[in-house]
Amino acid sequence: MKTSYKYTTGLVLCLLLLLVTAACSHDNTSDLKLDGFTTLDYLKLSDYEAVIDHKTKQASVGVPIDEDVTRLTVTSVKVAEGAKADLKEGDIVDCSVPRNIRVTNGDVFTNYTLTVKHDDVQVLSASLDNVYSAAVDNEARTIRFFVPLSQDLSNVIIFYTLNAGATGEPASGSTVNLTEPIEITMSYRTAVVKYTVSAVREDMSQAPKAFIGNGASVEELGPEAAAAARWMLENVSNSRFVSLSSLLDGSVKLSDFKMVWCHLDWTDWPGIMWDTRDLFNDYYIKGGNILASRDGARYINDVWRIARDQQSPNNMFGGDNYEILESDLGLNVTGHENHPLYSGLPIETDGRILLMSAGCANSNRTLQWVADWDAYGSVEIWQERTGATALGSGNDFDPNRITTAEFAPREVLSGYMSGCVITIGTPAYEWYVPTGENLYKENIQKLTKNAINYLCQ
């Protein structure tokens, strides 16, 4: 009986196993068709052929600048054998924004992203003799070089880089005469545009400089910072925009620049700047020079560790609303008129340099030290505790209201001489003017050029 029981039990288990195997075999049988190819092999829109990248699943079409991309006709579309696309010849498609094309074969499909762009030329960079970098404006189609006063412009070599596939005449590497502006004809497919190339002789330093912003590009900055950045990139030789994120990921180093300009909006505090505090402190300790204007002046405290007492200006206000100025606004420089910061600037009889004219909208953003408040008590004690020197006061002369200051180089760390830092916190120093025309804009520009040159010494 015992042997019979084992035999019977084994037989039952074998039968159950066969049943389960059969059931599993039946469940694995599927009617899905998964072996078809789903490639987009060829596409034409309004007779413009697409470039198809099967690796990235991208289909790109270039069209003339005057082509209406909201109504393009599918001239031809070809897909893998047995497959179908969700658009057919004769369809009218709106390609003003990228759209998907789905190619289906049986029960599998692939999505391709269709992008249509107008043919265009973009100058990515330009230089003279591989020494002087250019300010490029691709909207205005201009390339401007800033060179020393003594530079001979009659026989210089121009270099430039363009978007892939674009060409220029005269070509990059050509010898040109830039004593007068010239034109370079840039071409890409149907796009043919002319860039005006000019050179400006000036006494600006050719040392590398950077505008530091908390956005990935100038377009991502607030209006105040963006206006200052655009001016610098278009008017100051060998300058470039540097994002804080590029400093953090190490793709750009502050040590590459003789000076950097931090002109921040009041809403930026502290933001990503806090994460870069050690980078700025190291830059400063090892001789890096900083122009810290508007809310950039806040970081001389325990963030950058520049002020001896590691404190920000003790009186900060304004910035969130704009009001129309009833009278001209300026910076009082009485007692500091001979500082290089003010070279070539007209000084009024009351000691002011006017920076913003009546009728302009002004946010009144102010960052100043009030030297006779309890924290200090006098200008002399303020200078001793901060390590700074006053260079200017408010619109109405009061030497205790310090809106512009200099932190001269000093031995912060044994064996290292620090850089120089200029702070500008007067409400008259604003680049973005939403209402009105600033008749003293050139004074702001000259003041800034003086500061940049001074910090590049």
List, for residues 343-389, the tens digit of each pLDDT value: 999 999 999 999 999 999 999 999 999 999 988 999 999 999 999 99
* pLDDT at position 86: 95
pTM (two decimals): 0.75
**Could you tell me the two tokens for 312?**
């920000």
Contacts of 186 (CB under 8 A, 6+ apart): 121, 123, 162, 166, 167, 168, 192, 193, 194, 195
Query: How many residues are recorded in the chain?
Result: 457
Measure the CA–CA gap between 17 and 14, rounded to whole angstroms.
Answer: 5
- φ, ψ at 226 (rounded to 5°): -65, -40
40-118 maps to CATH 3.40.50.2300: no
Q: Where are the beta strands (DSSP E) in 231-314?
A: 239-243, 259-264, 289-294
Check if the beta carbon of residue 72 is closer than 8 Å to that of residue 93: yes
Classify residue 314 as exposed, middle or buried by CB count within 10 Å of its CB (0-12, 13-18, 19+): middle
> If you search the block for the tokens 């200099």, which residue do you land on?
406
Residue 1 is predicted with a pLDDT of 44
**Which residue is associated with the tokens 């790109």?**
60
Query: What pLDDT was estimated at residue 31?
Result: 59
Q: Are 98 and 147 in contact (CB under 8 A)?
A: no
CA gap 298, 270 in Å, rounded? 9
Q: Mapping DSSP to helix (H, G, I), strand (E, B) and coil, where does residue 282 land?
A: helix
Per the CB < 8 A criterion, the answer to whether 28 and 154 are in contact is no
Rounded distance between C-alpha atoms, residue 201 and residue 114, angstroms = 47
- In CATH terms, is domain 123-201 a member of 2.60.40.2340? yes
What is the token pair recorded at 305? 């560790």
Task: State how far the Cα of 259 lies from the Cα of 211, in Å rounded to an integer.
Answer: 9
DSSP code of 324?
A: E
Under 8 Å between Cβ of 237 and 185: no
> Which CATH homologous superfamily contains domain 209-455?
Class I glutamine amidotransferase (GATase) domain (3.40.50.880)
pLDDT at residue 34 in the model: 64
Integer Cα distance of 36 and 54 in angstroms: 16
**Residues carrying CATH 2.60.40.2340, the chain:** 40-118, 123-201
Task: Report how far residue 389's alpha carbon sits from residue 406's, in angstroms, rounded to the nearest whole number.
Answer: 5
Q: Which amino acid is at 101?
A: I
Q: Determine the 3-state secondary structure of 389 from DSSP.
A: strand
Name the β-bridge partners of 233. none
pLDDT of residue 370: 97
3-class secondary structure, 160: strand
How far apart CA 59 and CA 117 sit, in angstroms, is 11
- How many angstroms separate the CA atoms of 452 and 238, rounded? 12
Residue ranges of the chain with per-residue pLDDT less than 50: 1-7, 18, 20, 22-23, 25-26
Residue ranges of the chain that CATH labels 3.40.50.880: 209-455
Return the pLDDT at 415: 87
Residue whose structure tokens are 């003339």: 64
**The pLDDT value given to residue 414:** 86
